[in-house]
Amino acid sequence: MPAHLADYPVQPQHIDATRRFWDSFDKLEREDAARCIVLLCQELGNWGPFTRAQIQEFYDRHMRHTQAPFLDRGLFTNFARIEGEQIYMTEEFVARCFRSSPVKA
């Protein structure tokens, strides 16, 4: 895997996160969570890594809920690598989001 996906050809700005990622993660809850992660990465300008605190703060500012419901449910077990406090999204996560909702030229 490229270091932090920095060299991966699909970057956050290549994904249209204004739309739902229909059928990309098999559950509506995961699709909504993926959108939130992509939006955070767009704000960061890269695929991270980021921390649970960063995603929670982003979720609080933009999603208006008390807690990001996906943080402790293992929704992204196969799509994220967690090392200490850092969360790294995988190529598979990025590819699924892009296939579902690429930015239209």
Report which DSSP code applies to 41: H
The mean pLDDT of the chain is 84
For 46-77, how does the pLDDT look when each residue is reduced to its tens digit (9 = 90+)? 998 999 889 888 888 887 665 566 666 566 67
Residues 6+ apart with CB under 8 A from 37: 55, 76, 89, 93
The single residue listed with the structure tokens 């979720």 is 59
User: What is the pLDDT, as a whole number, of residue 22?
Assistant: 84
Per the confidence metrics, is the pTM higher than 0.85? Answer: yes
Both structure tokens of 103: 């930015």
* Average confidence (pLDDT) over 15-23: 89
The CA distance from 105 to 93, in Å, is 22
Residue 82 pLDDT > 90: no
Question: Per-domain residue ranges for the chain?
Answer: 17-100
Side-chain half-sphere exposure of 4, counting CA atoms within 13 A: 11
